[in-house]
Amino acid sequence: MNASAPVALVTGASRGIGRAIALALAADGCRVAVNHRSSPAEADAVVAAIRAAGGVAQAFQADVSDPAQAEQLARQVEAAWEPATVLVSNAGIMKTQFVALTKPEDWRAVMAVNLDAAFLVTKAVIRPMLRLRRGRIIYISSDAGLLGDHMRAAYSASKAGLFGLAKSTARELAAAGITVNALAPGLIESAMTADTPSTRRAKQLAVIPLGRFGQPEEVAGVVRFLASDNAGYITGQTICVDGGLCMQD
């Protein structure tokens, strides 16, 4: 094991975009902490895939929407290796409901996982980053935070909140050389989108200039760049990975 390799903490890394990000960062030489809330078998499979390719990874169970567990996760990663200097906050859930029919507890559940968790894990990792004067923080948001999404007000609002969190945190941490950015993936082939009805998929494809859905690996490729030394002069930005969906006329 390369003891000088960066430690990357990826939340919600057991499947989909998070899995692709974990594999990509490991391929770049990071020691990857694969966080999951309740998918131990899938997280272990990601770890096994990384190790089979010669990388270093370990699974860490934690509900990052819980303040105590988010803090404990950061300390467990630090105890296993050293403090994380790359954080990818990817954990997220979605509920499809009309605003008028959305229960407060459903709204709160989405906000807790999609927005609160990003704040909590950031808070848990930035003290060591400030001490080391280096770090990369990347929030996986969504085009829904920019455009809104039908029957997904809670999801869209939570993802929009990540843009503000990224900009404010980027301003606070810039003096220490820590960058903070957000990605806004568009329609990506994943478990979260697999059950989309065919009629809705056809409508979605019709408004994507590139005419196709994205792949998790395409989001991971941008994360690889933002986590690298080459992105040291990029902070406070939102980067759309969406086939042109958010382009303005």
Query: Per-residue pLDDT tens for 46-56?
Result: 999 999 999 99
Residue 79 has pLDDT above 70, yes or no: yes
For the chain, the 3-state helix, strand and coil shares in percent, each to the nearest 5, are: 50, 15, 35
pLDDT at 129: 98
Query: For residue 30, what pLDDT band results from cuts at 50, 70 and 90?
Result: very high
Instruction: Compute the mean pLDDT over every residue in the chain, rounded to the nearest whole number.
Output: 94
Secondary structure tally for the chain: helices H, strands E:
9, 7
Residue 32: closest CA among 98, 71, 80, 92: 80
Element spanning 184, H or E: strand 178-185
Query: For residue 248, what pLDDT band results from cuts at 50, 70 and 90?
Result: low
Query: Which residues have a catalytic role annotated?
Result: 155
Residue 188: closest CA among 218, 224, 210: 218
Cβ count within 10 A of residue 38:
9
Burial 210-222, CB ≥16 within 10 A → b, else e = eeebbebebbbeb
Q: pLDDT tens, 187-229?
A: 999 876 677 777 878 888 989 999 999 999 999 999 999 999 9
